[in-house]
């Protein structure tokens, strides 16, 4: 039994799963940078190998289900604590139980994965509404977000279809990465705010109209801030146009 | 853009009392230049009253020839008036949409000059949006009673969802509060929408109410004479599936790519202005679902925006608690297989403010409980208080491969506080030993005590949080 350390990529994690089966059983999988050595067991740094990762990838898809593969990828993109070990346990159980693993709603290995996936899906859905674009000089639409989980790529298909004729950027400020899209094509890249052009000339006017509209819509006899915060947690507010200024 | 800020203020202010917010019911890829439809609906923000903002909800104009008692825009009200130009509103919608402020447009209007005049202006604006701007996002258009069939049809071709407000739960209160609106005028566009959807084989119906039934048969055709706000269940039965003559074809059905109101129709009524009981309200709701197969009926707690001798006085707090319970009951109708006369009857004409309607129903029917979760069919599981659509699905899915244990239920999302009194797991019962309505009620309320009291003694602070039933599906319209 040994702790595996990986490089933080999905392929790296799958390589660790490979070694768990073919080299030595894993007592745990951890990202290299966050690992704190315990005196008890040894650890081994795993080098990511595409071939091994692909083997595991295909095995999961064939022997468990493509649903499971998507599910663990979403969990991998989450910020849930100890997600690597949750995934490892899930995959191990999956190879035993097969595709029906997703039906074990009360199982203590399945539940944490189900919950993590639920969180990611929930935030993706929420963000489809909470992204706010500002038009920059030159016509590009720019949006900054700070989601809990690493979800920009899950927004790509939705927005690049919807705004297929607009060049736009969805910038995850926390992770310094961005989704860049135009005419239905998109990519994810490293991104920082430097050298961003200023706002276009009419931008402020639309922001003001939106803010006014937003404030106006509340019916004063029904004011209920607790309900509002429940549905739209305060941590999202700082990137919302309606709460600026 | 001069003056738009002011116009938007006036015309949004008048529209905000419209309750319908959903942007659901139509999944569509971007088939134009900008926009798409998300079947599950997307909320874009939540205003300080906790209601979601999904669509740009505005009136086209608030200049009105009608004089409805409860309305802020009544002719006799002293309020600022404004109208959009079709071009202005289309541009504003697109600019808001590009910035992802909104999911689409909700366009309503006061009646300027005449219903047809107003409808023509609305149609003009919608066509501009769809054809000039290539807008493929969501459009909800409100139909004003009295509008001609041709115009309604044309608007339906542009919009995703149509709604005609029924305004009041009974024709009696309608006559009292909105004397210029006649039930016949309200039902006739509703009927036309339903019939057109049937012609196009596109009628879907509310929630899971008609699951497995073919709604698009000629049997569901509505004829002018048969619609009224029935109060007895016999009348409901009469109202549905009447195989009578041709209401068909005021407008010939066109096939092909164009769609007519793919997200169906909805309506809304005001709660707490007239003296209706919850039973009357629910019966009317059920009638609307059975007759017109509409997607949803919305309730709007009466807010005294105008003072009038026949309305509750201006200091009355809006009955938010009542509205909340009615929505829960509405969910029972649409997703849980309940009927209005099961939820309320002659002895219990109003919903219990302390307990949700499913619990009250269950307490009156303890002979049907406890239910064995490992054996009971889906429709019985759905009737257990504390079990919702998702948890019922999980139970039926898991028990195919492994027995459901009591410890599993919580992980599946079952609310055990309520549910434990009404179920068994592999034969074992975990609830109140004294299996009597009073004892169980006491148990449930004791747990809830703190919340219940603050919820209902102070209506202002009430969370319009739908219960286990409402919450999950709330976005789905």
Tens digit of pLDDT for each residue in B311-366?
Answer: 777 777 889 999 999 999 999 999 999 999 999 999 999 999 999 999 999 999 99
Please name the member of A103, A217, A228 whose beta carbon is closest to the beta carbon of B16: A217
The answer to whether B98 contacts A218, with C-beta atoms less than 8 Å apart, is: no
The domain boundary, picked from A121, A151, A182, lies at A121
* Optimal mutation site among A105, A142, A215, interface B, most CBs of chain B within 10 A: A105
A86 within a domain of the structure (yes/no): yes
Among residues A92, A46, A49, which one has the least CA distance to residue A68? A92
What count of other Cβ atoms lies within 10 Å of the Cβ of residue A50?
11
Domain that holds residue A226: 131-243
Q: Write b or e for each residue in B402-429: b if 16 or more Cβ atoms lie within 10 A of its Cβ, otherwise e.
A: bebebebbebbbbbeebbbbbbbbeeeb
Nearest CA of chain A to the CA of B272: how many Å? Answer: 15
Residues A7, A116 within the same domain: yes
Listed by number, the residues of chain A in 200-219 with a beta carbon closer than 8 Å to a beta carbon of chain B are 202, 205-206, 208-210, 212-219
Distance CA(B312)–CA(B314), nearest Å, equals: 7
Nearest CA of chain B to the CA of A225: how many Å? Answer: 5
What is the distance, to the nearest Å, from the Cα of residue B421 to the centroid of all Cα atoms in its chain?
Answer: 31
- Residue B225: pLDDT band with limits 50, 70, 90: low
Summarize the confidence of residues A19-48 as an average pLDDT.
87
Summarize the confidence of residues B198-211 as an average pLDDT.
90
Distance CA(A48)–CA(B91), nearest Å, equals: 52
Q: How far is CA B114 from CA B62, B86, B145, B182, in A?
A: 13, 17, 10, 15
Residues A102, A145 within the same domain: no
Residues B312, B446 within the same domain: no
Question: What's the confidence (pLDDT) of residue B433?
Answer: 87
Paired strand residues for B135: B34
* Pair of tokens at residue B421: 């009194």
Q: Which residue has the higher pLDDT, B282 or B184?
A: B282
Among residues B21, B50, B475, B53, which one has the least CA distance to residue A210? B53
Residues B90, B139 within the same domain: yes
Domain that holds residue B251: 4-318
Residue pointed to by tokens 């979403």: A74
Burial of B346 (0-12, 13-18, 19+ CB in 10 A): exposed
Among residues A22, A18, A26, A27, which one has the least CA distance to residue A47? A18
* Pair of tokens at residue A139: 């016509």
Residues A112, A138 within the same domain: no
Nearest CA of chain A to the CA of B265: how many Å? Answer: 23
Residues A110, A145 within the same domain: no
Of all residues in chain A, the one with the smallest CA distance to B54 is A129
A141 CB neighbours in chain B (<8 A) are 98-99
Distance CA(B65)–CA(A181), nearest Å, equals: 49
- Looking at chain B, the number of H-run helices and the number of E-run strands are 17, 11
Residues B60, B185 within the same domain: yes
Distance CA(A14)–CA(B91), nearest Å, equals: 50
Is the backbone peptide bond immediately before B332 cis, with ω within 30 degrees of 0?
no
Residues B305, B228 within the same domain: yes
Residues B347, B308 within the same domain: no
Interchain CB contact of A96 with B (< 8 Å): no
**Which stretch of DSSP H or E encloses residue A162?**
helix A152-162
Q: Which residue has the higher pLDDT, A77 or B251?
A: A77
Question: What's the confidence (pLDDT) of residue B477?
Answer: 37
Question: What's the confidence (pLDDT) of residue B1?
Answer: 62
Residues A109, A136 within the same domain: no
Characterize the bridge pairing of strands A185-190 and A177-182: antiparallel
* Optimal mutation site among B97, B100, B135, B391, interface A, most CBs of chain A within 10 A: B100
Residues B309, B348 within the same domain: no
Of all residues in chain A, the one with the smallest CA distance to B44 is A129
The domain boundary, picked from A93, A121, A149, lies at A121
Residue pair A207/A241 in contact (Cβ under 8 Å)? The answer is: yes
Question: What's the confidence (pLDDT) of residue B364?
Answer: 94
Interchain CB contact of A121 with B (< 8 Å): no
B324 within a domain of the structure (yes/no): no
Nearest CA of chain A to the CA of B345: how many Å? Answer: 30
The answer to whether B1 contacts A128, with C-beta atoms less than 8 Å apart, is: no
Residues A185, A140 within the same domain: yes
B328 within a domain of the structure (yes/no): no
Distance CA(B286)–CA(B280), nearest Å, equals: 10
Residues A85, A196 within the same domain: no
Question: What's the confidence (pLDDT) of residue B397?
Answer: 95
Burial of A51 (0-12, 13-18, 19+ CB in 10 A): exposed
B429 phi and psi angles, rounded to 5 deg: -105, 135
B222 within a domain of the structure (yes/no): yes
For chain A, what percent of residues have pLDDT higher than 90? 91
Residues B219, B274 within the same domain: yes
Residues B125, B172 within the same domain: yes
B334 within a domain of the structure (yes/no): no
Distance CA(A77)–CA(A57), nearest Å, equals: 16
| pLDDT tens per residue across span A169-188 | 999 999 999 999 999 999 99
| Sign of the dihedral through C-alpha B9, B15, B17, B18 | negative
Size of interface A-B (CB pairs under 8 A): 169
Residues B302, B175 within the same domain: yes
Q: Domain count of chain B?
A: 2
* Optimal mutation site among A100, A101, A104, A106, interface B, most CBs of chain B within 10 A: A106
| pLDDT tens per residue across span B253-293 | 334 468 999 999 999 999 988 889 999 999 999 999 999 99
Residues B117, B213 within the same domain: yes
Question: What's the confidence (pLDDT) of residue B245?
Answer: 37
* Optimal mutation site among B9, B50, B396, interface A, most CBs of chain A within 10 A: B50
- Residue B229: pLDDT band with limits 50, 70, 90: low
Residues A105, A196 within the same domain: no
Residue pointed to by tokens 């706002």: A199
Continuous H helices in A23-80: 50-59, 66-76
Residues A90, A42 within the same domain: yes
Question: What's the confidence (pLDDT) of residue B241?
Answer: 41
Distance CA(B120)–CA(B276), nearest Å, equals: 36
Among residues B61, B66, B80, which one has the least CA distance to residue B124? B61
Nearest CA of chain B to the CA of A141: how many Å? Answer: 7
Among residues B265, B322, B283, B298, which one has the least CA distance to residue B456? B322
| pLDDT tens per residue across span B35-47 | 999 999 999 999 9
**Measured torsion, CA atoms of residues B416, B418, B419, B421, in degrees rounded to the nearest 10:** 110
| pLDDT tens per residue across span B420-443 | 999 999 999 999 888 999 999 988
Question: What's the confidence (pLDDT) of residue B471?
Answer: 37
The answer to whether B463 contacts A133, with C-beta atoms less than 8 Å apart, is: no
Nearest CA of chain A to the CA of B5: how many Å? Answer: 6
Residues A137, A98 within the same domain: no
| pLDDT tens per residue across span B75-94 | 888 889 999 999 999 999 99
Q: Write b or e for each residue in A213-244: b if 16 or more Cβ atoms lie within 10 A of its Cβ, otherwise e.
A: bbebbbbebbebeebbeebbeeebeebbbbee
**Which stretch of DSSP H or E encloses residue B395?**
helix B389-398
Among residues B104, B6, B22, which one has the least CA distance to residue B62? B6
Distance CA(B277)–CA(B219), nearest Å, equals: 32
Continuous H helices in B56-204: 86-98, 115-127, 149-158, 171-177, 183-199
Question: What's the confidence (pLDDT) of residue B476?
Answer: 40
Is the predicted pLDDT of residue B173 greater than 50, yes or no? yes
What count of other Cβ atoms lies within 10 Å of the Cβ of residue B303?
23
B46 within a domain of the structure (yes/no): yes
Distance CA(B79)–CA(B323), nearest Å, equals: 28
B303 CB neighbours in chain A (<8 A) are 219, 221-222
Residues B113, B161 within the same domain: yes
Supply the angle between the helices B183-199 and B149-158 in degrees, to the nearest 10. 50
The answer to whether B57 contacts A226, with C-beta atoms less than 8 Å apart, is: no
Question: What's the confidence (pLDDT) of residue B124?
Answer: 95
| pLDDT tens per residue across span B6-43 | 999 999 988 988 888 889 989 999 999 999 999 999 99
Distance CA(A223)–CA(A216), nearest Å, equals: 12
What count of other Cβ atoms lies within 10 Å of the Cβ of residue B397?
16
CATH number of the domain enclosing B266: 3.20.20
A126 within a domain of the structure (yes/no): no
Question: What's the confidence (pLDDT) of residue B470?
Answer: 36
Residues A201, A228 within the same domain: yes
Distance CA(B79)–CA(B72), nearest Å, equals: 8
The domain boundary, picked from A121, A152, A171, lies at A121
Listed by number, the residues of chain A in 12-41 with a beta carbon closer than 8 Å to a beta carbon of chain B are none
Distance CA(B298)–CA(B268), nearest Å, equals: 4
B140 within a domain of the structure (yes/no): yes
B456 within a domain of the structure (yes/no): yes
Of all residues in chain A, the one with the smallest CA distance to B465 is A227
B326 within a domain of the structure (yes/no): no
| Mean pLDDT rounded to a whole number for chain A | 94
B318 CB neighbours in chain A (<8 A) are 221-222
What is the distance, to the nearest Å, from the Cα of residue B200 to the centroid of all Cα atoms in its chain?
Answer: 23
Summarize the confidence of residues B214-219 as an average pLDDT.
85
* Optimal mutation site among A125, A162, A183, interface B, most CBs of chain B within 10 A: A162
A179 within a domain of the structure (yes/no): yes
What size, in residues, is chain B? 477
ipTM: 0.94
A104 CB neighbours in chain B (<8 A) are 398, 401-402
Distance CA(B119)–CA(B337), nearest Å, equals: 37
Among residues B90, B176, B41, B266, which one has the least CA distance to residue A129? B41
Residues B230, B368 within the same domain: no
Question: What's the confidence (pLDDT) of residue B18?
Answer: 87
Of all residues in chain B, the one with the smallest CA distance to A184 is B30
What count of other Cβ atoms lies within 10 Å of the Cβ of residue B87?
12
Question: What's the confidence (pLDDT) of residue B6?
Answer: 93
Q: How far is CA B256 from CA A74, B126, B157, B253, in A?
A: 39, 20, 12, 10
| pLDDT tens per residue across span B366-413 | 999 999 999 999 999 999 999 999 999 999 999 999 999 999 999 999
**Which stretch of DSSP H or E encloses residue B437?**
helix B437-457
């Amino acid at each position: 039994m040994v702790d595996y350390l990986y490089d933080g990529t999905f392929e790296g994690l799958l390589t660790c799963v490979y070694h768990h089966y073919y080299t030595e059983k894993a007592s745990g999988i951890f990202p290299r940078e966050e690992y704190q050595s315990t005196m008890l067991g040894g650890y081994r740094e795993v080098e990511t190998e595409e071939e091994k990762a692909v083997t595991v990838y295909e095995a999961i898809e064939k022997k468990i289900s493509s649903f499971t593969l998507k599910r663990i990828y979403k969990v991998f993109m989450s910020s849930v604590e100890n997600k690597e070990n949750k995934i490892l346990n899930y995959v191990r159980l999956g190879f035993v139980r097969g595709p029906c693993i997703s039906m074990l709603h009360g199982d203590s290995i399945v539940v944490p994965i189900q919950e993590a996936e639920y969180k990611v899906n929930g935030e993706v859905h929420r963000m489809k509404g909470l992204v706010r674009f500002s038009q920059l000089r030159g016509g590009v639409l720019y949006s900054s977000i700070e989601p809990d989980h690493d979800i920009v790529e899950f927004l790509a298909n939705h927005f690049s279809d919807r705004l297929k004729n607009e060049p736009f950027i969805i910038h995850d400020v926390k992770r310094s990465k961005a989704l860049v899209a135009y005419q239905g094509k998109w990519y994810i890249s490293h991104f920082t705010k430097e050298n961003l052009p200023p706002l276009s000339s009419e931008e402020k006017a639309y922001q003001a109209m939106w803010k006014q509209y937003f404030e106006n819509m509340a019916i004063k006899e029904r004011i209920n801030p607790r309900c509002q915060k429940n549905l739209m947690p305060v941590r999202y507010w700082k990137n919302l146009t309606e709460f600026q200024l | 853009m001069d003056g738009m800020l002011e116009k938007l203020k006036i015309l949004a202010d008048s529209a905000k009392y419209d309750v319908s917010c959903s942007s659901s019911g139509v999944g569509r890829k971007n088939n134009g230049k900008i926009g798409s439809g998300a079947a599950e609906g997307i909320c874009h923000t939540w205003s300080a009253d906790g209601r979601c903002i999904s669509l740009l909800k505005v009136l086209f104009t608030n200049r009105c020839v009608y004089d409805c008692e409860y309305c802020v825009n009544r002719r006799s009200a002293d309020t600022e008036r404004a109208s959009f130009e079709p071009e202005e509103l289309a541009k504003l919608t697109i600019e808001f949409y590009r910035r992802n402020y909104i999911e689409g447009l909700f366009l309503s209007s006061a009646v300027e000059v005449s219903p047809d005049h107003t409808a023509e202006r609305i149609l003009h604006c919608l066509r501009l949006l769809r054809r000039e701007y290539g807008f493929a996002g969501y459009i909800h258009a409100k139909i004003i009673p009295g509008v001609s069939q041709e115009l309604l049809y044309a608007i339906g071709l542009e919009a995703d969802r149509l709604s005609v407000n029924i305004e009041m739960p009974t024709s009696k209160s309608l006559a009292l509060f909105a004397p210029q609106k006649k039930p016949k005028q309200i039902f006739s566009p509703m009927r036309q929408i339903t019939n057109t959807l049937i012609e196009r084989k596109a009628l879907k119906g509310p929630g899971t109410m008609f699951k497995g039934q073919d709604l698009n048969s000629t049997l569901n055709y509505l004829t002018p004479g048969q619609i009224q706000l029935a109060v007895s269940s016999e009348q409901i039965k009469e109202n549905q599936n009447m195989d009578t003559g041709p209401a068909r074809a005021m407008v010939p059905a066109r096939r092909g790519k164009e769609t007519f109101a793919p997200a169906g129709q909805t309506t809304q009524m005001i709660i707490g202005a007239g003296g209706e009981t919850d039973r009357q309200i629910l019966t009317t709701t059920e009638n609307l679902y059975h007759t017109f197969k509409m997607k949803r009926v919305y309730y709007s707690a009466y807010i005294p925006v105008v003072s009038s001798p026949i309305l509750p006085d201006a200091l009355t707090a809006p009955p938010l608690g009542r509205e909340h319970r009615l929505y829960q009951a509405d969910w029972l109708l649409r997703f849980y297989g309940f009927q209005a006369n099961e939820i309320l009857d002659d002895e219990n004409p109003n919903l219990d403010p302390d307990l949700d309607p499913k619990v009250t129903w269950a307490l009156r029917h303890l002979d049907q409980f406890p239910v064995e979760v490992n054996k009971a069919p889906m429709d019985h599981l759905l009737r257990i208080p504390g079990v919702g659509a998702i948890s019922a699905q999980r139970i039926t899915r898991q028990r195919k491969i492994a027995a459901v244990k009591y410890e599993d239920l919580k992980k599946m999302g079952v609310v055990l506080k309520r549910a434990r009194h009404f179920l068994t797991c592999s034969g074992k019962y975990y609830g109140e030993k004294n299996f009597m309505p009073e004892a169980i009620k006491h148990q449930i309320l004791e747990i809830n005590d703190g919340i219940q009291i603050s919820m209902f003694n102070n209506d202002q602070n009430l969370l319009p949080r739908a219960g286990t039933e409402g919450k999950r599906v709330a976005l789905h319209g």
